[in-house]
Amino acid sequence: MKVVSVKVDDEIKAKMDLYKDINWSEVVREAIKGRIEIEEMLRRRIDRARALKASEDMDRLRSKTSGKWSGVEEIRKWREARR
């Protein structure tokens, strides 16, 4: 395993010291792994055929509506009904 240093300010370090039972190295490792997964997902090539199919599906579904439906109004209606 390689060593990576991380700098934190004094306030964060003081708060970390309150939780001596936490393995902060593991927390940092998991955070880095999670961020790598996000970056890999964001940078993955887009399946053009799949994206075009999704776009066609959205257009097809949109054409079935009157065009007057408002998601905001629908949410407000149901929120008011709960009161």
CA dist., res. 13 & res. 34, Å (int) = 22
Dist CA 54 CA 52 (whole Å): 5
Q: Mind listing the pLDDT tens digit for each residue in 17-37?
A: 999 999 999 999 999 999 999
The model's pLDDT over 32-81, given as tens digits with 9 standing for 90+, comes to 999 999 999 999 999 999 999 999 999 998 888 777 878 899 999 999 99
Instruction: Give the H/E segment covering residue 71.
Output: helix 71-82
CA–CA gap between residue 43 and residue 49 (Å, rounded)? 17
Q: What is the domain partition of the chain in residue ranges?
A: 1-60
CA distance 67 to 81: 24
